[in-house]
Structure 1
Amino acid sequence: MDVQVAVVVSAAVVAALLGWLMPRWVARLPEPEPIDAEKTPYPELAATPGLTVRYAVAAAVVAGVLAAVLGPDARLLFLVPLSALGVALAQIDFRTRLLPKRLVLPAYPAMLVGLALAAVLRGELELITGGLLGGVIAWAIYWLLWRFTPGMGFGDVRLSGIVGMALGAFGWHTLGYGLYAAFVVGALGWIPLRLMGFTKDRHFAFGPFMLLGAVVGICLGALT
């Protein structure tokens, strides 16, 4: 089997398995306080018919696309798990406008481990520095948006550090592409969301667009 094909298949399979398991973790998430009567409980959300299959397929597609663009790149060590986590976070945020700390915060040490392993395998220790700086820059940008503009939730700030670390590991151009793409995709995405009645104002779940923007940024960075 061609190496490129093997990498794509392996990434897709691993991401699919992780995506398949994600609803179990979602079902165990504690409910936020204070309790919101209008929020869909996490166990109910996780029990949505066909959710495990949708998570698995979506995670496989994202990881497969990244692997096809990057090839046998050690940075897939953190991108593949992040693909499965990102799919779950995007769906949860879309349904509840929340990004659970129990899913986001553990991703930080996991990303650090992934960055370290990728840096060692590639022989590029500056990859760790790039990832950390990317995380700090992304976090600072989203913190400022949360602090001084309406509509941005602090969950987006927490997620931004993970997104920035992943993008920063690919360099400044990719970091810029990914952060900018999130706002472009978000602006374009608001229009159909508004027309379909998913939002009645400019307030909508931004996490899915942050994650999609990161995928776009990594692909653009690799192809340009």
Structure 2
Amino acid sequence: MTTALDLALPAAAALWGATAGALLPRAAYRFSAPAGEEWRKTCPAGHPVRGWLGSAHCGDCAAAPEDEPAAADGEDAPQGPPAPDNESRTGGAGGNTKAATTHEPAPAPRTPRTPRTPRTPRTPRTPRTTPLALATALVCAALALATGTRPELAVWLLLAPVGVLLAVVDFRVQRLPDPLTLPLAAAALTLLGVAALLPEHAGDWTTSLYAALALGGAYFVLFLINPGGMGFGDVKLALGTGAALGWYGWPTVLLGTFAGFLLGALYGGALVVVRRAGRKTAIAFGPFLIAGAFAGLLVGAYTA
């Protein structure tokens, strides 16, 4: 029988997720810098951006467009009408008539083509608030439905916005920032250690620790075997996802890991089918690693 608490808990979790997700665009924008570059310090219009939470736009350009129009190339300028045809034309069918001679002045020499103007770099797209808030709200509501009132729910709700943020950043620039992946692993183990001290929890902290080390080690081996297909950021992220999945036992770790690889393979295969990528095209694996961990947590929480 459904109680009022059963309905209120997912609603409260969704509200928390929407609020937290609405604060992620600025962090997603600032962290979405290509590998080797510093985190972004200016908004799309060039004004300084302070802080990490809130809108990606600063107060001076809240209505700034997402993209700057590309500069026109010199060769794209419209050309004038073609020069008149001054060649001689023959007469009737006999073909014996002389060519008509014209005395029109020769056409002026063509003006040298203007050198190509370099295109203006596109302004980086800024993450939108509504999709981030909606995605985080759905994730938190689903976790609340699966976990119920057990104390580990508080851990999942605190970690979920970080997972959404990591997925967005990696999908945008194929980079998993150390300031997010390493604290995620430490926070997961610390918070789950606190949850293990509370009554009615449904997990095991020791397994979480072992799973974090095992999954991180397995991804590190994959990184050594194929550095082009597995980034070192994925190795660090695996520490956090392993800790979360290990809370519900080794079957959940295997399920979440398999789900991540399956989703990544399906996505890569779809890109190949629609000819948007080749077999050797690198794709961001972080979002699928996180999605697989999310699926594993849902199943583990339901069966715990």
TM-score (norm 2): 0.65
2:266 is aligned with 1:188: yes
1:105 aligned counterpart, secondary structure: helix
Paired position in structure 2 for 1:92: 169
Q: 1:59 aligns with which of 136, 146, 154?
A: 136
Which residue type is aligned with residue 96 of structure 1? Answer: V
2:285 is aligned with 1:206: yes
Paired position in structure 2 for 1:170: 248
Cα distance change on mapping 1:197 and 1:97 into 2, 3 Å? farther
Choose 1 or 2 for highest CA Rg: 2
Cα distance change on mapping 1:81 and 1:194 into 2, 3 Å? farther
Preserved contact between residue 92 and residue 98 of structure 1 (Cα < 8 Å): yes
1:147 aligned counterpart, secondary structure: helix
Cα distance in 1, alignment partners of residues 43 and 163 from structure 2: 19
Q: 2:294 aligns with which of 187, 209, 215?
A: 215
Q: Give per-residue Cα distances to partners, 1:30-52, cap 9 Å, x unaligned.
A: 9566339xx99995594545622
Aligned-pair CA distance for 1:204 = 0.6
Which residue type is aligned with residue 82 of structure 1? Answer: L
2:204 is aligned with 1:119: no
Aligned length: 222
Compare 87-96 and 185-194 and name the one that shifted more.
185-194
Preserved contact between residue 26 and residue 43 of structure 1 (Cα < 8 Å): no
Q: 1:151 aligns with which of 222, 229, 236?
A: 229
Compare 129-138 and 46-55 and name the one that shifted more.
46-55
Which residue type is aligned with residue 244 of structure 2? Answer: A
Preserved contact between residue 177 and residue 221 of structure 1 (Cα < 8 Å): no
Paired position in structure 1 for 2:25: 23
User: What fraction of aligned residue pairs are identical, expressed as a percent?
Assistant: 34
Cα distance in 1, alignment partners of residues 239 and 126 from structure 2: 32
2:287 aligned counterpart, secondary structure: helix
Paired position in structure 1 for 2:145: 68
Q: 1:160 aligns with which of 224, 232, 238?
A: 238
More helix by share: 1
Cα distance change on mapping 1:218 and 1:95 into 2, 3 Å? same
Paired position in structure 1 for 2:102: none
Cα distance change on mapping 1:21 and 1:223 into 2, 3 Å? same
Aligned-pair CA distance for 1:113 = 2.8
2:284 aligned counterpart, secondary structure: coil
Cα distance change on mapping 1:60 and 1:174 into 2, 3 Å? same
